[in-house]
Amino acid sequence: MITLQNINKLYRTDTIETTALNNINLQVDEGEFLSIMGPSGCGKSTLLNIIGLLDEPSNGKIEIKGHTVSNYHTKETAKFRNEHLGFIFQSFHLIPELSVMDNVQLPLLYRNLSQKERNQMASVALESVGLNNRMEHFPSQLSGGQKQRVAIARAIVGKPSIILADEPTGNLDSVMGNEIMNILLQLNQENKTTIIMVTHDENMAHKTHRLMRLYDGRQL
């Protein structure tokens, strides 16, 4: 499903060169739930951004669903992300001026769909996270857990085969964190969605199929 070969990421300034990722090789199978752990600054988020085509590696090859996406141009990358990838962020990143319904529809705006189709798909996504009674609410009217559920609905509304979650429970208390984790596990089990999750939480990580540890940009 996802193959990373010899991925390196270097950040250069005039005087310093920092290695964020050092020769990462990774294979993620379809339907797998992988968690990535490691101390702060070890390159977890950088790796997730590279897998999610939000960032480019300094060198190496990325293949997703048989496509060598590391060669894609900006527009092709944007289209690929829209069709195949869903993102969940630690700080939710909901648009405060838009209602829950409009926030969830955001990925569908970049597809050729009618308003009716968008409404239907967003309703289904919100129902699957148990928020169909909050469609007209605004993010400021929701709790942290509810906001993250909206973010999950936004990530899955376009039916992507891969979800990338960057510390999805990091801003939540343990009860809400467990709720979110259960939704992700359910998505993985029922829809066979491939999920890659960055986390600091050992308990959450142990609920996934596989754990990958990073230290100073290297795989352990």
Contact call for residue 79 and another protein (CB under 8 A):
yes
Structure tokens at 20: 């964020």
- Structural contact between residues 187 and 156, judged by C-beta atoms closer than 8 angstroms: yes
Give the shortest CB-207-to-another protein separation in angstroms.
25
- Stretch 119-158 residues interacting with another protein (CB under 8 A): 154, 158
The neighbouring-strand residues paired with 1 are none
Q: What angle do CA 63, 64, 65 make, to 5 degrees?
A: 120
Stretch that binds another protein, among 24-32, 97-105, 123-131, 186-194 (CB under 8 A): 97-105
Give the shortest CB-163-to-another protein separation in angstroms.
12
Residue given tokens 């950040």 in the structure block: 11
- Give the contact letters, 43-62, x = binds to another protein (CB under 8 A), - = no: ------x--x-xx-------
Structure tokens at 206: 């142990």
Nearest to 120 by CA among 137, 132, 138: 132
**Alpha carbon distance 125, 139 (integer Å):** 16
**Alpha carbon distance 45, 102 (integer Å):** 27
Chain-centroid distance, C-alpha 153: 12
Contact call for residue 12 and another protein (CB under 8 A):
no
Among 110, 141, 186, 189, binds another protein (CB under 8 A): 110
Contact call for residue 105 and another protein (CB under 8 A):
yes
Kindly determine how many residues on this chain lie close enough to bind another protein according to the rule CB under 8 A. 29
Contact call for residue 33 and another protein (CB under 8 A):
no
Stretch that binds another protein, among 30-38, 100-108, 122-130, 141-149 (CB under 8 A): 100-108
Contact call for residue 191 and another protein (CB under 8 A):
no
Structure tokens at 138: 């605004």
Structure tokens at 5: 């070969």
Question: Which residues make up the interface to another protein (CB under 8 A)?
Answer: 49, 52, 54-55, 74-75, 78-79, 81-83, 87, 89, 91, 93, 95-98, 102, 105-107, 109-111, 115, 154, 158
